[in-house]
Amino acid sequence: MKIMKKVQAGTLQSSDLMVFLEPAESLTVTIESTVLKQFGELIRAKVDEVLAKHGVEAGEVRITDRGALDYAIEARLETALMRAEG
């Protein structure tokens, strides 16, 4: 799938996250998190899993996390991807 437009999904409340997507020529993923030291690798793995599942090969992905669980990361990212399609 291709990211066609700039979108966002989520909130910045505790235990949630905000996902920002923008069209780009290559894929870049930036993660800011209050728990990055403890869970950064797991957050990145979940983001990579969802992007691969949807066939995303290009775009700017920015995640601002406030301690969201993996199912919330997946849901917010999938929502943003659906919005970005068209």
**Span 41-65, mean pLDDT?**
98
Per-residue model confidence as pLDDT tens digits over 21-34: 999 999 999 999 99
Tell me if 1 is assigned to some domain: no
pLDDT mean across residues, the chain: 97
Q: What's the pLDDT at 86?
A: 73
The CATH number linked to 80 is 3.30.230.10
Q: 17: closest CA among 84, 60, 85, 79? A: 79
pTM (predicted TM-score): 0.94
Tell me if 11 is assigned to some domain: yes
Q: Is 20 helix (H, G, I), strand (E, B) or coil?
A: strand
Tell me if 46 is assigned to some domain: yes
Tell me if 65 is assigned to some domain: yes
Tell me if 2 is assigned to some domain: no
Give how many domains the chain has, as a whole number.
Answer: 1
* Residues 54, 58, 61: CA angle, nearest 5 degrees: 80
Percent of the chain residues topping a pLDDT of 70: 100
**Span 5-32, mean pLDDT?**
97
Domain membership of residue 63 as a residue range:
7-85
